[in-house]
Structure 1
Amino acid sequence: MKRLLLVTAALAAFTVPLQAAAADKLLNASYDIARELFEAENEAFIKVNPGITIDQSHGGTSKQARAIVEGLEADVVTFNQVTDIEFLVKNGFVSEDWQSEFPNNASPFYSFPSFLVRAGNPKGIEDWDDLARDDVKVIFPNPKTSGNARYTYLAATAYAKEKFGGDEAKVTEFVDKIFDNVPVFDTGGRAATTTFVEREIGDVIITFEAETKSIAKQYGEDNYEQVVPSVSLLAEFPVAIVDKVAEKKGSQDLAKTYLDFLYTPEGQTVAAEFGHRVHDEAVAAKYKDEFPDVRLVTVEDVFGGWSKVSQEHFAEGGILDGIYGSR
């Protein structure tokens, strides 16, 4: 018995440091175009939490969610689409009440699909109508693989629903025409940016407002112009602890501290500096002049919620498949 106690104590001595080490490190699985944002967020977080390591994984959020189910051990997710977190819920990786664990339905900041055109706006692109013109080539990624593009698809659909008074045949025809004007469907938002900027394909790129600001800043504000449409769709950026992984690694507390940081004035300031609209009133007021007014509609108001959208638009054989099939 004494020997057994000694062996048990020895094992415990090795186990505790391993758990402690795991709790000093997180893996954040995030969306494709958030690399620079979270590099800055992580740097700010580590300044007030020294000794912590934050690793990143980036890609289309649907792909990221599948990777987690298949073995990617992410402690937290910072996605751009509710449905991909719900996929993790259905597979037992995230708790069902995840949206109540953090403020604003677990969305620390928000944006919306916006336009970026070339200098001088040579095609005179001002609103969604212009994207359906025969002389306009539009760049956005594949909604099958990109949460970013799903927002674009839904925003264009929401605009068409208003324009055509809910005539679904005309709505589908309008969105189908926009899809016909896309010369190449990249798998993610960053690849679409490369197509537009480096390959110089297309007259306009549709992406989150935050990304349009980033592109202009990185590649020269004299080369591009941001165009805010008359109406767009609220794009929230939901976050969650991947409970199944965090419990295994003993990182629940650190994971919560990390996601809580995104709501602090420091975290909100970083988000605003990278072109995101934030909820902190003081930070929002400081950056107000950088964000033009826009009328935003929501998935809940226009489509009846994400669950209904998933079934009607994005499921196999849904409306989106019909649009692809007609091309």
Structure 2
Amino acid sequence: MKSSNWLNAVAMAAAAAGLTLIAVTNAPGKADEQLINVSYDPTRELYQEINPLFIEAYRKETGRGLNIVQSHGGSSRQARKVVSGELKADVVTLGLYSDIDSLRKRGLVANDWASRLPNHSSPYGSTIVFVVRKGNPHSIKDWPDLLQPGVDIVTPDPRTSGNGKLSALAAWAAIVTRGGSEAEARGYLREFYRHASALAEGARGAAISFATQEQGDVHLVWENEALREVAQSGGKLEIIYPPISIRAEPVVAWLDKSPAHKGDLPAARAYLNFLFSDEAQKRIAKLGYRPVNPDAAKAAGVSFPKINLIPITEIARDWSDANDRFFAENGVIDDVLGAPKQ
């Protein structure tokens, strides 16, 4: 227990500093192989629970021990670090399709990566919800309420974070899918970011600012992160589900060209396939992610509130188009936030 508490403390400190944390889970006995999982910010606890389950299953199946190394940070920044070689990876488990597809464009994963695993390589879903202070003093219930005078929004930077990108897309969708024009959606986003006093690099950094440092009035965050945040707050925080939000579809892939290993790595494929197993899907549900197996949440004793989750195809052709339109150079985010300084 002490080592677990220490690890969580290090994770929080690393997130607050905008750093990447790497933690190692050791297999019983001698480790014959090592697997590096480069993931996005809030999944620390998820893989800390899933990794030992897979390690034991892999040992029983192959007789081989395994170490799994976790790396966490803003999803888009993690992808860029893998591309640059700053981070080695065997598998990537990132928040956005476009982040893994950026690796495909550079030849690090195969062209058909999304079709190599079930459900288009998405083992769980999520969305963006609001976390507010106890009693919801600003009566925040829907997206227009975020623009009330005096409301300070906490959200990660959409240029580095999957959480940040999804918050921007959810806000845009909340306007245009309810009859607003694109000009109105752009104006909403511009005002939205005027209410955001600071933009953390990743989801966990934003969570620390809001929950631990008690900055801001409302936190826009992954649903699973919101559940964790509220559960640990001792009654100081509560979740607000807006009537509409974006359908998040985190995706996973093994790298076909990776400096982390030479040649084929069967453990990488087995690891990602394990995420779709009944055992992993139940654990996914318990940790606040929406499993792709519809029976897993029920088996885990978990129910998720119903919310109108807008698919990306309601506001763009697909995830790649959304990334180009909103987050590429001279896209919507550059327009409303200003181009990043070089």
The two structures have a TM-score, normalised by structure 1, of 0.89
AA aligned to 1:69 is: V
Choose the corresponding residue for 1:39, options 25, 48, 51.
Answer: 48
In structure 2, the residue matched to 1:131 is 146
1:239 aligns with 2:261: no
| Structure number with larger C-alpha Rg | 1
In structure 2, the residue matched to 1:176 is 190
AA aligned to 2:52 is: E
1:261 aligns with 2:274: yes
- 1:314 and 1:48 mapped to 2: Cα distance? 40
Choose the corresponding residue for 2:312, options 288, 291, 299.
Answer: 299
Structure 1 stretch displaced more, 140-149 or 49-58:
49-58
Deviation at 1:246, TM superposition (A): 7.8
* Number of equivalenced pairs: 304
In structure 2, the residue matched to 1:316 is 329
Structure 1 stretch displaced more, 297-306 or 186-195:
297-306
Aligned residues with identical type, % of pairs = 38
Structure 1 stretch displaced more, 283-292 or 236-245:
283-292
Choose the corresponding residue for 2:39, options 30, 49, 55.
Answer: 30
CA contact (8 A) 1:118 1:224 kept: yes
In structure 2, the residue matched to 1:280 is 293
Q: 5+ unaligned residues in a row in structure 2: which ranges? A: 1-29, 60-64
In structure 2, the residue matched to 1:187 is 201
Deviation at 1:290, TM superposition (A): 3.2
CA contact (8 A) 2:156 2:200 kept: yes
CA contact (8 A) 1:26 1:251 kept: no
User: What is the SS of the residue equivalent to 1:62?
Assistant: helix
Relative contact order (alpha carbons < 8 A, sep ≥ 6): 1 or 2 greater? 1
In structure 2, the residue matched to 1:88 is 103
- 1:152 and 1:84 mapped to 2: Cα distance? 16
CA contact (8 A) 2:297 2:303 kept: no
- 1:209 and 1:78 mapped to 2: Cα distance? 17
AA aligned to 2:333 is: L
Choose the corresponding residue for 1:55, options 66, 69, 77.
Answer: 69
1:98 aligns with 2:113: yes
CA contact (8 A) 2:35 2:68 kept: yes
Q: 5+ unaligned residues in a row in structure 1: which ranges? A: 1-20
Q: Where in structure 2 are the equivalents of 1:106-125 lying within 5 Å?
A: 106-125=121-140
CA contact (8 A) 1:23 1:249 kept: no
Deviation at 1:302, TM superposition (A): 2.1
- 2:302 and 2:31 mapped to 1: Cα distance? 42
Higher helix share: 1
CA contact (8 A) 1:29 1:64 kept: yes
Aligned Cα RMSD in Å?
Answer: 1.8
In structure 1, the residue matched to 2:228 is 214
